Protein backbone atom coordinates (compact mmCIF):
# COMPACT_ATOMS: atom_id res chain seq x y z
CA UNK A 1 0.00 0.00 0.00
CA UNK A 2 1.08 3.55 -0.72
CA UNK A 3 -0.02 7.09 0.10
CA UNK A 4 0.38 10.51 -1.50
CA UNK A 5 1.95 13.42 0.35
CA UNK A 6 1.19 16.94 -0.90
CA UNK A 7 2.62 20.22 0.34
CA UNK A 8 0.11 22.81 -0.83
CA UNK A 9 0.41 26.43 -1.83
CA UNK A 10 2.21 26.34 -5.18
CA UNK A 11 0.73 27.92 -8.28
CA UNK A 12 0.80 25.46 -11.17
CA UNK A 13 2.35 26.60 -14.45
CA UNK A 14 3.35 24.77 -17.60
CA UNK A 15 2.16 22.08 -19.97
CA UNK A 16 1.05 18.49 -19.52
CA UNK A 17 0.19 15.79 -22.08
CA UNK A 18 -3.11 13.97 -21.78
CA UNK A 19 -2.97 10.18 -21.55
CA UNK A 20 -5.19 7.71 -23.36
CA UNK A 21 -8.67 7.30 -21.91
CA UNK A 22 -9.24 4.17 -19.86
CA UNK A 23 -12.99 4.54 -20.53
CA UNK A 24 -12.18 4.27 -24.22
CA UNK A 25 -9.51 1.59 -23.90
CA UNK A 26 -11.56 -0.79 -21.76
CA UNK A 27 -14.51 -1.34 -24.17
CA UNK A 28 -12.13 -1.50 -27.14
CA UNK A 29 -10.11 -4.21 -25.38
CA UNK A 30 -13.33 -6.10 -24.58
CA UNK A 31 -14.44 -5.82 -28.21
CA UNK A 32 -11.33 -7.65 -29.43
CA UNK A 33 -13.21 -10.80 -28.38
CA UNK A 34 -15.32 -10.27 -31.52
CA UNK A 35 -12.34 -10.16 -33.90
CA UNK A 36 -11.07 -12.97 -36.10
CA UNK A 37 -7.56 -11.50 -36.25
CA UNK A 38 -5.11 -9.98 -33.75
CA UNK A 39 -5.47 -6.26 -32.99
CA UNK A 40 -2.69 -3.75 -32.23
CA UNK A 41 -3.97 -1.18 -29.75
CA UNK A 42 -1.95 1.94 -28.97
CA UNK A 43 -2.15 4.90 -26.57
CA UNK A 44 -3.43 2.69 -23.77
CA UNK A 45 -2.70 4.34 -20.42
CA UNK A 46 -0.58 2.51 -17.85
CA UNK A 47 -3.38 2.04 -15.34
CA UNK A 48 -4.50 -0.75 -13.06
CA UNK A 49 -7.89 -1.08 -14.78
CA UNK A 50 -6.23 -1.58 -18.17
CA UNK A 51 -3.91 -4.19 -16.65
CA UNK A 52 -6.91 -5.94 -15.10
CA UNK A 53 -8.75 -6.09 -18.44
CA UNK A 54 -5.66 -7.52 -20.15
CA UNK A 55 -5.35 -10.11 -17.37
CA UNK A 56 -9.04 -10.95 -17.81
CA UNK A 57 -8.65 -11.49 -21.56
CA UNK A 58 -5.52 -13.54 -21.00
CA UNK A 59 -7.32 -15.71 -18.44
CA UNK A 60 -9.89 -16.53 -21.14
CA UNK A 61 -7.23 -17.65 -23.59
CA UNK A 62 -6.33 -14.45 -25.43
CA UNK A 63 -2.69 -14.08 -26.47
CA UNK A 64 -1.16 -10.73 -25.49
CA UNK A 65 2.17 -9.29 -26.58
CA UNK A 66 3.81 -5.91 -25.97
CA UNK A 67 5.92 -4.45 -28.77
CA UNK A 68 8.72 -1.91 -28.58
CA UNK A 69 6.65 0.87 -30.17
CA UNK A 70 4.22 0.88 -27.24
CA UNK A 71 1.41 -1.02 -28.93
CA UNK A 72 -0.22 -4.07 -27.38
CA UNK A 73 -1.12 -6.93 -29.70
CA UNK A 74 -4.17 -8.88 -28.56
CA UNK A 75 -5.31 -12.08 -30.22
CA UNK A 76 -8.72 -12.94 -28.77
CA UNK A 77 -9.79 -14.99 -31.77
CA UNK A 78 -9.72 -18.32 -29.94
CA UNK A 79 -11.18 -17.83 -26.47
CA UNK A 80 -11.22 -21.15 -24.62
CA UNK A 81 -12.59 -20.10 -21.21
CA UNK A 82 -15.49 -17.63 -21.65
CA UNK A 83 -15.52 -16.67 -17.98
CA UNK A 84 -14.87 -13.43 -16.06
CA UNK A 85 -13.57 -14.66 -12.73
CA UNK A 86 -14.44 -13.02 -9.43
CA UNK A 87 -10.88 -12.19 -8.40
CA UNK A 88 -10.59 -9.96 -11.48
CA UNK A 89 -14.13 -8.61 -11.83
CA UNK A 90 -14.34 -7.58 -8.16
CA UNK A 91 -11.84 -4.76 -8.72
CA UNK A 92 -13.28 -3.30 -11.93
CA UNK A 93 -16.88 -2.85 -12.98
CA UNK A 94 -15.99 -2.41 -16.67
CA UNK A 95 -15.14 -6.11 -16.86
CA UNK A 96 -18.89 -6.61 -17.43
CA UNK A 97 -18.17 -5.37 -20.96
CA UNK A 98 -16.94 -8.82 -22.00
CA UNK A 99 -20.45 -10.23 -21.53
CA UNK A 100 -21.96 -9.08 -24.82
CA UNK A 101 -18.99 -10.06 -27.01
CA UNK A 102 -18.64 -13.49 -25.36
CA UNK A 103 -22.26 -14.57 -25.74
CA UNK A 104 -22.47 -13.10 -29.26
CA UNK A 105 -19.39 -14.89 -30.58
CA UNK A 106 -19.06 -17.99 -28.42
CA UNK A 107 -22.66 -18.64 -27.36
CA UNK A 108 -22.02 -18.63 -23.62
CA UNK A 109 -20.52 -16.58 -20.84
CA UNK A 110 -19.99 -16.86 -17.10
CA UNK A 111 -19.59 -13.43 -15.54
CA UNK A 112 -18.94 -12.70 -11.88
CA UNK A 113 -21.14 -10.02 -10.37
CA UNK A 114 -19.30 -6.73 -11.08
CA UNK A 115 -17.30 -4.57 -8.67
CA UNK A 116 -15.53 -1.22 -9.13
CA UNK A 117 -16.01 2.10 -7.33
CA UNK A 118 -18.69 2.18 -4.64
CA UNK A 119 -20.50 5.24 -5.99
CA UNK A 120 -24.03 3.89 -5.99
CA UNK A 121 -26.27 1.37 -7.67
CA UNK A 122 -25.31 0.74 -11.27
CA UNK A 123 -27.62 -2.10 -12.28
CA UNK A 124 -26.76 -4.26 -15.26
CA UNK A 125 -30.43 -5.04 -15.83
CA UNK A 126 -30.34 -3.08 -19.11
CA UNK A 127 -27.46 -5.22 -20.38
CA UNK A 128 -29.25 -8.42 -19.40
CA UNK A 129 -32.71 -7.48 -20.69
CA UNK A 130 -31.22 -6.49 -24.04
CA UNK A 131 -29.23 -9.69 -24.38
CA UNK A 132 -32.26 -11.71 -23.27
CA UNK A 133 -34.35 -10.05 -25.96
CA UNK A 134 -31.61 -11.04 -28.42
CA UNK A 135 -32.23 -14.65 -27.42
CA UNK A 136 -29.78 -15.31 -24.60
CA UNK A 137 -30.92 -17.55 -21.76
CA UNK A 138 -29.80 -16.01 -18.49
CA UNK A 139 -29.46 -17.44 -14.99
CA UNK A 140 -27.76 -15.97 -11.96
CA UNK A 141 -26.81 -16.67 -8.38
CA UNK A 142 -25.13 -14.59 -5.69
CA UNK A 143 -21.74 -14.86 -7.39
CA UNK A 144 -22.18 -15.35 -11.14
CA UNK A 145 -24.35 -14.55 -14.14
CA UNK A 146 -24.66 -17.36 -16.71
CA UNK A 147 -25.61 -16.68 -20.33
CA UNK A 148 -26.23 -19.15 -23.17
CA UNK A 149 -27.43 -18.69 -26.73
CA UNK A 150 -27.42 -20.87 -29.83
CA UNK A 151 -27.72 -17.81 -32.04
CA UNK A 152 -28.56 -14.25 -31.10
CA UNK A 153 -31.09 -12.30 -33.15
CA UNK A 154 -31.34 -8.59 -33.99
CA UNK A 155 -33.63 -6.45 -31.83
CA UNK A 156 -35.26 -3.05 -31.51
CA UNK A 157 -34.48 -2.04 -27.93
CA UNK A 158 -34.97 1.12 -25.87
CA UNK A 159 -32.86 1.64 -22.76
CA UNK A 160 -35.14 2.60 -19.84
CA UNK A 161 -32.31 4.84 -18.61
CA UNK A 162 -29.19 6.03 -20.41
CA UNK A 163 -26.32 3.62 -19.75
CA UNK A 164 -22.82 3.98 -21.19
CA UNK A 165 -21.70 0.39 -20.60
CA UNK A 166 -25.17 -0.89 -21.52
CA UNK A 167 -24.99 0.90 -24.87
CA UNK A 168 -21.47 -0.43 -25.44
CA UNK A 169 -22.33 -4.02 -24.49
CA UNK A 170 -25.37 -4.32 -26.76
CA UNK A 171 -23.64 -2.45 -29.59
CA UNK A 172 -20.74 -4.92 -29.48
CA UNK A 173 -23.05 -7.93 -29.42
CA UNK A 174 -25.14 -6.58 -32.30
CA UNK A 175 -22.04 -5.96 -34.43
CA UNK A 176 -21.79 -9.69 -35.24
CA UNK A 177 -25.50 -10.61 -35.22
CA UNK A 178 -27.05 -11.21 -38.64
CA UNK A 179 -29.62 -8.50 -39.32
CA UNK A 180 -30.36 -4.94 -38.19
CA UNK A 181 -30.42 -3.98 -34.51
CA UNK A 182 -31.78 -0.62 -33.40
CA UNK A 183 -30.84 0.75 -29.97
CA UNK A 184 -32.77 3.72 -28.59
CA UNK A 185 -32.09 6.19 -25.77
CA UNK A 186 -28.39 5.44 -26.14
CA UNK A 187 -25.50 7.06 -24.31
CA UNK A 188 -23.81 9.75 -26.42
CA UNK A 189 -20.41 9.88 -24.70
CA UNK A 190 -17.30 10.30 -26.87
CA UNK A 191 -16.11 6.91 -25.66
CA UNK A 192 -19.24 5.27 -27.15
CA UNK A 193 -18.52 7.03 -30.44
CA UNK A 194 -14.91 5.87 -30.29
CA UNK A 195 -15.94 2.25 -29.77
CA UNK A 196 -18.28 2.47 -32.78
CA UNK A 197 -15.47 4.01 -34.84
CA UNK A 198 -13.13 1.20 -33.84
CA UNK A 199 -15.67 -1.51 -34.70
CA UNK A 200 -16.41 0.16 -38.04
CA UNK A 201 -12.66 0.24 -38.68
CA UNK A 202 -12.75 -3.53 -38.13
CA UNK A 203 -15.57 -3.99 -40.67
CA UNK A 204 -18.72 -3.42 -38.61
CA UNK A 205 -21.64 -1.36 -39.89
CA UNK A 206 -22.72 0.98 -37.10
CA UNK A 207 -24.52 4.27 -37.68
CA UNK A 208 -25.71 6.97 -35.30
CA UNK A 209 -23.16 6.67 -32.48
CA UNK A 210 -23.20 9.94 -30.55
CA UNK A 211 -26.95 10.26 -31.13
CA UNK A 212 -29.93 8.84 -29.26
CA UNK A 213 -30.58 6.08 -31.84
CA UNK A 214 -27.86 3.71 -33.01
CA UNK A 215 -28.42 1.26 -35.86
CA UNK A 216 -26.18 -1.77 -36.29
CA UNK A 217 -26.21 -4.06 -39.31
CA UNK A 218 -24.43 -7.21 -38.20
CA UNK A 219 -21.26 -8.40 -39.93
CA UNK A 220 -20.12 -12.02 -39.98
CA UNK A 221 -16.42 -11.32 -39.59
CA UNK A 222 -14.46 -8.47 -38.00
CA UNK A 223 -10.75 -7.88 -38.56
CA UNK A 224 -8.37 -5.22 -37.27
CA UNK A 225 -4.89 -3.89 -38.00
CA UNK A 226 -4.08 -1.16 -35.45
CA UNK A 227 -5.87 1.55 -33.49
CA UNK A 228 -4.97 4.35 -31.07
CA UNK A 229 -7.47 4.99 -28.28
CA UNK A 230 -9.02 8.36 -27.57
CA UNK A 231 -7.33 10.78 -25.16
CA UNK A 232 -8.84 11.14 -21.68
CA UNK A 233 -11.26 14.06 -21.36
CA UNK A 234 -11.73 13.51 -17.61
CA UNK A 235 -7.99 13.60 -16.99
CA UNK A 236 -7.82 16.78 -19.07
CA UNK A 237 -10.66 18.30 -17.05
CA UNK A 238 -8.92 17.39 -13.80
CA UNK A 239 -5.73 19.20 -14.82
CA UNK A 240 -7.81 22.18 -15.95
CA UNK A 241 -9.25 22.38 -12.45
CA UNK A 242 -5.75 21.94 -11.00
CA UNK A 243 -4.68 25.06 -12.87
CA UNK A 244 -7.77 26.98 -11.75
CA UNK A 245 -7.72 25.95 -8.09
CA UNK A 246 -4.08 27.03 -7.68
CA UNK A 247 -4.62 30.34 -9.53
CA UNK A 248 -2.19 28.99 -12.08
CA UNK A 249 -1.78 28.81 -15.84
CA UNK A 250 -1.84 25.29 -17.27
CA UNK A 251 -1.93 24.01 -20.85
CA UNK A 252 -3.17 20.48 -21.57
CA UNK A 253 -2.03 18.94 -24.85
CA UNK A 254 -3.42 16.00 -26.83
CA UNK A 255 -7.09 16.62 -26.14
CA UNK A 256 -10.05 17.44 -28.39
CA UNK A 257 -11.53 20.66 -26.97
CA UNK A 258 -15.02 19.74 -28.18
CA UNK A 259 -15.09 16.76 -25.79
CA UNK A 260 -14.58 19.05 -22.77
CA UNK A 261 -16.58 22.07 -23.89
CA UNK A 262 -18.91 22.01 -20.89
CA UNK A 263 -15.92 21.90 -18.51
CA UNK A 264 -14.36 24.87 -20.28
CA UNK A 265 -17.67 26.74 -20.17
CA UNK A 266 -18.08 26.17 -16.43
CA UNK A 267 -14.55 27.43 -15.72
CA UNK A 268 -15.19 30.52 -17.85
CA UNK A 269 -18.45 31.08 -15.96
CA UNK A 270 -16.46 30.94 -12.71
CA UNK A 271 -14.05 33.59 -13.98
CA UNK A 272 -11.12 31.68 -15.47
CA UNK A 273 -9.69 32.43 -18.91
CA UNK A 274 -9.85 29.38 -21.18
CA UNK A 275 -8.29 29.17 -24.63
CA UNK A 276 -8.05 26.22 -26.99
CA UNK A 277 -6.64 25.01 -30.29
CA UNK A 278 -7.13 21.94 -32.43
CA UNK A 279 -5.61 19.57 -29.87
CA UNK A 280 -5.01 21.62 -26.72
CA UNK A 281 -6.71 23.70 -24.07
CA UNK A 282 -5.28 26.08 -21.49
CA UNK A 283 -6.64 27.58 -18.29
CA UNK A 284 -5.38 30.87 -16.87
CA UNK A 285 -6.61 31.82 -13.39
CA UNK A 286 -3.64 33.99 -12.40
CA UNK A 287 -5.41 37.32 -12.55
CA UNK A 288 -8.88 36.63 -11.22
CA UNK A 289 -10.73 35.41 -8.14
CA UNK A 290 -13.06 32.59 -9.07
CA UNK A 291 -16.76 32.60 -8.18
CA UNK A 292 -18.56 29.44 -7.11
CA UNK A 293 -21.21 28.24 -9.58
CA UNK A 294 -24.05 25.70 -9.46
CA UNK A 295 -23.55 22.33 -11.15
CA UNK A 296 -25.95 19.55 -12.05
CA UNK A 297 -24.50 16.35 -13.47
CA UNK A 298 -26.05 14.87 -16.59
CA UNK A 299 -25.18 12.30 -19.26
CA UNK A 300 -23.08 13.64 -22.15
CA UNK A 301 -23.24 16.34 -23.46
CA UNK A 302 -24.24 17.51 -19.97
CA UNK A 303 -21.84 18.10 -17.10
CA UNK A 304 -19.98 14.83 -16.44
CA UNK A 305 -20.51 13.08 -13.13
CA UNK A 306 -16.83 12.13 -13.31
CA UNK A 307 -15.94 15.82 -12.81
CA UNK A 308 -18.37 16.53 -9.97
CA UNK A 309 -15.91 15.86 -7.12
CA UNK A 310 -13.15 17.95 -8.72
CA UNK A 311 -15.45 20.97 -9.10
CA UNK A 312 -16.66 20.55 -5.53
CA UNK A 313 -13.07 21.01 -4.40
CA UNK A 314 -12.79 24.09 -6.63
CA UNK A 315 -16.10 25.57 -5.43
CA UNK A 316 -15.07 25.03 -1.82
CA UNK A 317 -12.41 27.78 -2.06
CA UNK A 318 -14.17 30.03 -4.58
CA UNK A 319 -16.16 33.13 -3.68
CA UNK A 320 -19.81 32.69 -2.79
CA UNK A 321 -21.99 29.61 -2.46
CA UNK A 322 -23.18 26.99 -4.89
CA UNK A 323 -25.36 23.92 -5.13
CA UNK A 324 -23.96 20.77 -6.71
CA UNK A 325 -26.63 18.28 -7.76
CA UNK A 326 -25.69 14.68 -8.54
CA UNK A 327 -28.31 13.10 -10.82
CA UNK A 328 -26.37 10.16 -12.25
CA UNK A 329 -25.27 8.20 -9.15
CA UNK A 330 -26.89 8.33 -5.73
CA UNK A 331 -23.79 7.62 -3.64
CA UNK A 332 -21.21 9.96 -5.13
CA UNK A 333 -20.67 12.37 -2.25
CA UNK A 334 -18.27 10.23 -0.25
CA UNK A 335 -15.54 12.83 -0.72
CA UNK A 336 -17.56 15.43 1.21
CA UNK A 337 -16.51 14.27 4.68
CA UNK A 338 -12.86 14.18 3.62
CA UNK A 339 -13.01 17.69 2.15
CA UNK A 340 -14.65 18.89 5.38
CA UNK A 341 -11.65 17.52 7.30
CA UNK A 342 -9.62 20.04 5.31
CA UNK A 343 -11.89 22.92 6.23
CA UNK A 344 -14.45 22.89 3.43
CA UNK A 345 -17.95 24.12 4.32
CA UNK A 346 -20.27 21.59 2.68
CA UNK A 347 -23.69 20.32 3.75
CA UNK A 348 -25.72 17.58 2.11
CA UNK A 349 -29.42 17.29 1.36
CA UNK A 350 -30.13 14.02 -0.45
CA UNK A 351 -28.55 14.34 -3.90
CA UNK A 352 -27.53 17.98 -3.46
CA UNK A 353 -24.51 19.54 -1.80
CA UNK A 354 -24.48 23.16 -0.61
CA UNK A 355 -20.92 24.44 -0.89
CA UNK A 356 -19.96 27.70 0.83
CA UNK A 357 -16.59 29.01 -0.26
CA UNK A 358 -13.91 29.44 2.40
CA UNK A 359 -10.72 31.50 2.25
CA UNK A 360 -8.41 28.50 2.53
CA UNK A 361 -8.17 24.77 3.12
CA UNK A 362 -5.84 23.09 5.59
CA UNK A 363 -3.86 19.93 5.00
CA UNK A 364 -5.10 16.80 6.76
CA UNK A 365 -4.96 13.02 6.69
CA UNK A 366 -7.72 11.93 4.32
CA UNK A 367 -8.76 8.73 2.61
CA UNK A 368 -9.87 8.18 -0.99
CA UNK A 369 -13.18 6.33 -1.34
CA UNK A 370 -13.33 6.08 -5.13
CA UNK A 371 -11.47 7.17 -8.25
CA UNK A 372 -12.81 10.70 -8.77
CA UNK A 373 -13.08 11.36 -5.02
CA UNK A 374 -9.35 10.73 -4.81
CA UNK A 375 -8.77 13.33 -7.55
CA UNK A 376 -10.75 15.92 -5.57
CA UNK A 377 -8.56 15.29 -2.52
CA UNK A 378 -5.41 15.77 -4.59
CA UNK A 379 -6.79 19.07 -5.89
CA UNK A 380 -7.68 20.20 -2.37
CA UNK A 381 -4.21 19.20 -1.22
CA UNK A 382 -2.63 21.41 -3.87
CA UNK A 383 -4.08 24.49 -2.12
CA UNK A 384 -4.25 23.19 1.45
CA UNK A 385 -1.98 24.85 4.00
CA UNK A 386 0.77 22.56 5.30
CA UNK A 387 0.77 18.87 4.40
CA UNK A 388 -2.01 16.65 3.07
CA UNK A 389 -1.72 12.88 3.34
CA UNK A 390 -4.01 10.81 1.09
CA UNK A 391 -4.55 7.13 1.91
CA UNK A 392 -6.03 4.36 -0.28
CA UNK A 393 -4.53 5.82 -3.44
CA UNK A 394 -5.01 2.56 -5.32
CA UNK A 395 -8.24 4.23 -6.45
CA UNK A 396 -6.37 7.02 -8.21
CA UNK A 397 -4.02 4.52 -9.86
CA UNK A 398 -7.08 3.04 -11.56
CA UNK A 399 -7.70 6.23 -13.53
CA UNK A 400 -4.77 8.66 -13.55
CA UNK A 401 -1.48 7.78 -15.19
CA UNK A 402 1.63 9.14 -13.41
CA UNK A 403 -0.37 11.80 -11.58
CA UNK A 404 2.39 12.85 -9.21
CA UNK A 405 4.95 13.09 -12.04
CA UNK A 406 2.62 15.27 -14.13
CA UNK A 407 1.73 17.55 -11.22
CA UNK A 408 5.39 17.84 -10.20
CA UNK A 409 6.21 18.95 -13.74
CA UNK A 410 3.64 21.74 -13.28
CA UNK A 411 5.24 22.87 -10.02
CA UNK A 412 3.38 20.92 -7.33
CA UNK A 413 5.13 19.37 -4.34
CA UNK A 414 3.72 15.87 -4.35
CA UNK A 415 5.28 12.47 -3.84
CA UNK A 416 4.39 8.88 -3.11
CA UNK A 417 5.57 6.90 -0.09
CA UNK A 418 4.90 3.44 1.37
CA UNK A 419 1.98 3.29 3.76
CA UNK A 420 2.55 1.34 6.94
CA UNK A 421 -0.48 -0.06 8.74
Structural domains counted in the chain = 2
Residues 60 and 188 in one domain: yes
**Would you state the pLDDT for residue 118?**
46
**Spatial separation of the C-alpha atoms in residues 30 and 141, rounded to whole Å:** 24
**Spatial separation of the C-alpha atoms in residues 37 and 77, rounded to whole Å:** 6
Residues 6 and 92 in one domain: no
Where does a domain end: 162, 194, 228?
Answer: 228
Residues 172 and 259 in one domain: no
Residues 237 and 208 in one domain: no
Residues 258 and 390 in one domain: yes
**Would you state the pLDDT for residue 421?**
61
Kindly name the residue from 117, 186, 202, 224 that is annotated as catalytic. Answer: 117
**Would you state the pLDDT for residue 123?**
62
Q: What is the pLDDT of residues 262-273, one digit of tens each?
A: 999 999 999 999
Per-residue CA distances from 336 to 63, 117, 155, 308, 345 (Å): 43, 16, 43, 11, 9
Q: What is the CA radius of gyration of the chain?
A: 21
Residues 135 and 215 in one domain: yes
Torsion of CA 412, 413, 414, 419, to 10 degrees: -160
Q: CATH number for the domain including 45?
A: 3.65.10.10
How buried is residue 67: exposed, middle or buried, by Cβ count under 10 Å (0-12/13-18/19+)?
exposed
- Whether pTM > 0.85 for this model: the answer is yes
Residues 366 and 271 in one domain: yes
Say whether 402 is catalytic.
no
Residue 154 and residue 219 in contact, taking contact as beta carbons nearer than 8 Å: no
Residue 80 and residue 61 in contact, taking contact as beta carbons nearer than 8 Å: yes
Burial 11-44 (b: 16+ CB within 10 A, else e): bbeeebbbbbbbbbbbbbbbbbbbbbebbbbebb
Residues 323 and 174 in one domain: no
Residues 202 and 264 in one domain: no
**Would you state the pLDDT for residue 116?**
45
| Angle value at C-alpha 327, between 325 and 331, nearest 5 degrees | 90
- Interhelix angle 371-383/308-316, nearest 10 degrees: 20
Tell me which residue range forms the domain holding 237. Answer: 2-18+232-418
Residues 207 and 312 in one domain: no
Q: What is the pLDDT of residues 373-417, one digit of tens each?
A: 999 999 999 999 999 999 999 889 888 999 999 999 999 999 999
Where does a domain end: 228, 259, 276?
Answer: 228
Give every residue of the chain whose pLDDT is below 50, as ranges: 116-122
Residues 175 and 307 in one domain: no
Where does a domain end: 201, 228, 255?
Answer: 228
Residues 410 and 366 in one domain: yes
Amino acid sequence: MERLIIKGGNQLHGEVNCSGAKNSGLPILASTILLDTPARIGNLPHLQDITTMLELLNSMGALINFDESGYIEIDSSNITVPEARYELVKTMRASILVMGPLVAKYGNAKISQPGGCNIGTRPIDFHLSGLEKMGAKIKSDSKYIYLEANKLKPIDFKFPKISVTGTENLMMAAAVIDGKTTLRNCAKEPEVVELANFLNHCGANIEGAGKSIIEINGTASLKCSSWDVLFDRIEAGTYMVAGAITNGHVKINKIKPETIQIISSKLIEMGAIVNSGSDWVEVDATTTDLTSKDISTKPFPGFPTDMQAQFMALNSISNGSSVIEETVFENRFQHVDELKKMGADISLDKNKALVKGVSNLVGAIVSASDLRASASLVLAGLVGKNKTQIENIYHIDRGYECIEEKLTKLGAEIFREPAEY
